[in-house]
Structure 1
Amino acid sequence: MAEITESSQPRQANAAVSVLVALSLSHLLNDVMQSLINAIYPLLKESYSLTFFQIGMITFTFQLTASLLQPLVGFFTDRHPWAYSLTSGMGFTFVGLILLAMANSFPAILVGAGMVGIGSSVFHPEASRVARLASGGRYGFAQSMFQVGGNAGSALGPLLASYIVVPWGQPSIAWFSIGAVAAMVVLFNVGRWYQQQLSSIRIHKPKSVSVDRPTLPRWRVGAAITVLLVLIFSKYFYLVSLSNYYTFYLMQRFNVSVSDAQIYLFVFLGAVAVGTVGGGPVGDRVGFKTVIWFSILGVLPFTIILPHVNLFWTVVLTVPIGLILASAFSAMIVYAQELVPSQVGMIAGLFFGFAFGMAGIGAAVLGWLADKTSIEYVYQICAYLPLFGLFTALLPNTEPQRRHAKA
């Protein structure tokens, strides 16, 4: 029996890596399709004479379904896992894209945006759970590999939309449904692997009942989760200041063209995608709390300087900001999952949902502030958001417990 197990280990390892690659690719496709909603706002506003409030309602509908449902989906699937939930979730995204392409009224647009949001609410917590299952114990590496696909998709989405949706109009959104179908095929194969793992877990459950669980009281776990959510608030408020308003800032302060501003935005989003790769693997080696410390407070010197430099240094500074700040999210999720290892889906859903929600609220609040003051003032205020990283000191140190559990 030992010889069979040893000879099967390379095959299992290869299967796990292929699953992580499939999840990352699916995340890329998912976030490219999500980014289309923002890209078609100018088209929808002109075609249907929408007000800014109605545009905001489209965002609200998407964020409501994408953020609030995620922890509920994770909570349910923690108790009733279904191997093909990822495929079904991508099916909602497919239907949403078709509805957005064919919508001829404001209510129909809201339904399409809501369907895309539902697809996202199923995808993120379940994909995060499967990534952890395929990690082979390298939880940070697996989470980062999954996350980098999403950030790459967010970076590519606006470029693809500018070359396809803008010149060809609303019906061209249907072309992106091919990506949803491709993701469904990839995720169906992931579901087959997931089904095998679920069957194996059920068979060997009496032998694998022990879990690496930090011996912390429930109130301490709850307090740590609260601190992590505060850190996510600071991270995503600052990120949305760049992802939503960076182009306007560049055009207003430095008089750059729209096309040049989009290129500079892509530089920042590309740095975010690259930065995602590092947080998880580094956390596996040095501890996730250490990564969280560095990824939040580490950007403070750059964010404080950014509003006071010329165009060249503004673009340069967004690179370390994106690289460092992006490393936080994977570390936060894995750290939280180690605090509550029996509810990894609910934790992933809570964190993804809260991040989406903060991004939506942040976009509205910072837009209101820019209207009342100026876009330059927004960046002067946001420069101090990384100071919230000081709350990391309140997080318990779980590293000795992790090492003891693995010894």
Structure 2
Amino acid sequence: MSTEKAINTTSTMRTKVLLLLSTGHLVTDLAAGALPVLLPVIQAALNLSYGAAGVVSLIFNISSSVLQPLLGLWSDKIKARWLLPTGSILSMIGLALAGIVSNYWLLLAVVFLSGIGSASYHPEASKVSRLASGHRRTTGMSLFIVGGALGAAIGSVVMAQLLMKFDRFASIYFLVPGIIMVMLFFIYNKKLPDEPGGVITGDINTNVKIPRNVMVSLTVLVVLIIIRSWIQSGLLYFMPLYWVNHLGKNPDYVSSLVVSFMLAGAIGTLVGGPLADRFGRKNSLVTSTALLVPLLLLLKFSTGAWPMIILFITGMVIVSTMATTVVMGQEMLPHRIGVASGLMTGFAIGMGGVGVTVLGTIADHYGVDSALWILTLMPLAAFALSLFLPKDSVQQE
């Protein structure tokens, strides 16, 4: 029996386990939404320059995203269920201390700690989600991933409310969900699915040579996710600037557009998983990428109430394939599930920050409108790449 088949000995989706993992994902990703809201307050309190504040964001991005494949490789070599509660609590400890420390170097250290917590949780949780999903892999993965989307949104809202009352020391209250999550994982530890005999034990061979065609397909998938992340991050950062500074829209109205986009992403995650299981992962990815081309063109030229409607639909479409790409990556690397998960949920998505930097440089030199035109046309490249992805490697039930 192959490793791929051994990992999927049950066809039943274990919804309670997936909800537990999704809740842990929510708690862990509170930091991703809360830290950007907390950072301006810390900047003022510690009298940091914009460059120094930018380094704080960079440290969190590197530790939480770029390091995920390395931690995924580690989780592939050992049984590491303890990374689930550890990752959640470290993410919250780092965030809690970020508002309390009064030294810049200590601030960088605790932000790095929070990022490491996030990077530790994601590959292992993605691996366990796969085990708990049965044959409905993309549906199960979507249940897991939606927790992260909600966590980032809730983290920003809760931190904003707490800051009004407790200033930067409000961060300490984020210890509470971290502690609760550790207790939940301790209580339900024996309910988590285990790898069948020989899978991801201490002696599994994770040095299996990856065929050239698989490496090519994996590279295409990673680049596709990077482009998708650039588009998503670009919409979040530059569309508000364009609407406020160039179209003269009210900032409150623009804020409602951003919230609409984030909520649509959570809905799209839940809808996209079952659709991919039903119609095929590649079909789902190609179709959703193709839809982005007319949607972004309509978004750029829409007026009245249409921007909110189109942005909501765009948010659903662009995030709907996140679970799909994670499952596709895991299927390409069945002997390295943790590495695949880290590449898809960490490295590739984290590279979206690089895209924002590039678009920002273009906006500085040639104007925001030029940056938005590039953003609008980027789905064409993503669509072309999606056509080169292999057909689904596992038959759908």
TM-score by length of 1: 0.87
Aligned position for 2:293: 300
Structural mapping, 1:156-175, within 5 Å:
156-175=154-173
Distance 1:248 1:292 in 2: 29
Distance 2:156 2:363 in 1: 23
TM-fit CA distance, 1:311: 4.6
Aligned position for 1:396: 390
- Give the counterpart of 1:253 among 241, 246, 251: 246
Q: SS in structure 2 opposite 1:255?
A: coil
Matched, 1:228 2:221: yes
CA contact (8 A) 1:225 1:336 kept: yes
- In structure 2, the CA distance between the partners of 1:297 and 1:338, relative to structure 1 (3 Å rule), is same
Distance 1:356 1:261 in 2: 24
Distance 2:97 2:210 in 1: 48
Matched, 1:126 2:124: yes
CA contact (8 A) 1:71 1:353 kept: yes
- In structure 2, the CA distance between the partners of 1:19 and 1:224, relative to structure 1 (3 Å rule), is same
- In structure 2, the CA distance between the partners of 1:244 and 1:296, relative to structure 1 (3 Å rule), is same
* AA of the residue aligned to 1:109: L
Q: SS in structure 2 opposite 1:40?
A: helix
Aligned position for 1:309: 302
- Give the counterpart of 1:61 among 50, 59, 62: 59
Distance 1:53 1:203 in 2: 49
Q: SS in structure 2 opposite 1:396?
A: coil
Aligned position for 1:177: 175
* AA of the residue aligned to 1:110: L
CA contact (8 A) 1:140 1:280 kept: yes
- Give the counterpart of 2:112 among 111, 114, 139: 114
Distance 2:237 2:107 in 1: 21
Structural mapping, 1:4-403, within 5 Å:
16-194=14-192, 197-198=194-195, 201-202=196-197, 218-388=211-381, 389-399=383-393, 402-403=394-395
* AA of the residue aligned to 1:308: F
Distance 1:294 1:191 in 2: 39
TM-fit CA distance, 1:301: 0.2
CA contact (8 A) 1:155 1:269 kept: yes
* AA of the residue aligned to 2:391: N
* AA of the residue aligned to 1:267: S
In structure 1, stretches of 5+ residues that fail to align are: 1-8, 210-215
TM-fit CA distance, 1:316: 1.7
TM-fit CA distance, 1:87: 0.9
CA contact (8 A) 1:294 1:324 kept: no
Distance 2:162 2:251 in 1: 17
- In structure 2, the CA distance between the partners of 1:34 and 1:275, relative to structure 1 (3 Å rule), is same
CA contact (8 A) 2:289 2:318 kept: yes
* AA of the residue aligned to 1:306: L
- In structure 2, the CA distance between the partners of 1:47 and 1:257, relative to structure 1 (3 Å rule), is farther
CA contact (8 A) 1:299 1:320 kept: no
Distance 1:151 1:315 in 2: 19
CA contact (8 A) 1:275 1:327 kept: yes
* AA of the residue aligned to 2:388: L
- In structure 2, the CA distance between the partners of 1:191 and 1:350, relative to structure 1 (3 Å rule), is farther
CA contact (8 A) 1:59 1:360 kept: no
Q: SS in structure 1 opposite 2:246?
A: helix
* AA of the residue aligned to 1:73: L
CA contact (8 A) 1:40 1:166 kept: no
TM-fit CA distance, 1:132: 0.5
CA contact (8 A) 1:333 1:348 kept: yes
Q: SS in structure 1 opposite 2:81?
A: coil
Task: Report the structure, 1 or 2, having the larger helix content.
Answer: 1
In structure 2, stretches of 5+ residues that fail to align are: 1-8
- In structure 2, the CA distance between the partners of 1:369 and 1:49, relative to structure 1 (3 Å rule), is farther
* AA of the residue aligned to 1:112: V
* AA of the residue aligned to 1:395: L
* AA of the residue aligned to 1:369: I
TM-fit CA distance, 1:289: 0.5
Q: SS in structure 1 opposite 2:391?
A: coil
Alpha-carbon RMSD? 2.5
TM-fit CA distance, 1:86: 0.7
Distance 2:36 2:212 in 1: 39
Distance 1:277 1:219 in 2: 33
| Cα displacement string for residues 23-68 of structure 1 (whole angstroms, at most 9, x for unaligned residues) | 1112122222221111122212222222221121011101111123
Distance 2:334 2:199 in 1: 18
| Cα displacement string for residues 73-106 of structure 1 (whole angstroms, at most 9, x for unaligned residues) | 1111112012222111123113202320211121
| Cα displacement string for residues 196-217 of structure 1 (whole angstroms, at most 9, x for unaligned residues) | 624xx23899xxx9xxxxxx97
Q: SS in structure 2 opposite 1:50?
A: coil
Distance 1:186 1:269 in 2: 27
Count matched residues.
381
Aligned position for 2:3: none
CA contact (8 A) 2:42 2:99 kept: no
User: Which moved further from structure 2: 158-167 or 377-386?
Assistant: 158-167
